[in-house]
Amino acid sequence: MLKRFTVTILILIALISVTANAQGKLGFVGKIFDKKEANILFGDVKSSTELKPNVLKQALLSAKDYVLIAVRNGRISLANEKKQVLAGDLQPISTTETVYIFGKDKVAEFISLIGSSAIQVEQRSGTITLTAADYTLEFATICPPVCLD
């Protein structure tokens, strides 16, 4: 009986800690794939723009829970939850512009896997992906319709 009670308490503590550690109001956003698997899942790359890893690292330093990525005319903008530019070539992102939202923790994990490899921000059919070395980051939340405002 005591053993069952102890196991139940440990499970409850684990569930509470997972919930308490959830990232922001959207939770954890993004998933890292093997580059070959990403090509199968998300299709061919229609266009690609290079992003230096140090620019993405700089953006992470100022981001709270999420990094928003927008690509306009081959230029990349990295913004925070309020669509304020963290790094990149664009002016602030408009409230009507489509952005792709990635969790800060998932972006940090991606950077740790790729090291200093150049990142390609790839536009594919209906999505963007970040690819470097043998890894691709996707499963972003698209805003709109799901936004952080």
What integer best gives the mean pLDDT of the chain? 79
113 versus 80: which is more confidently predicted? Answer: 113
pLDDT band at 144 (very low <50, low <70, confident <90, very high): low
> What is the rounded distance in angstroms from the CA atom of residue 49 to the CA atom of residue 143?
20
Distance CA 104, CA 112 (A): 12
pLDDT value for 22: 43
Which residue in this structure is represented by tokens 């669509």?
83
For domain 24-143, the CATH architecture is Roll (3.10)
For residue range 21-52, list pLDDT tens digits in order. Answer: 445 555 566 789 888 988 888 889 999 999 99
Give the pLDDT of residue 145: 58
* Model pLDDT for residues 114-134, shown as the tens digit of each residue: 988 999 999 988 888 999 999
Determine what percent of the chain falls in helix, strand and coil, rounding each to the nearest 5.
30, 35, 35
Across 65-85, average pLDDT: 86
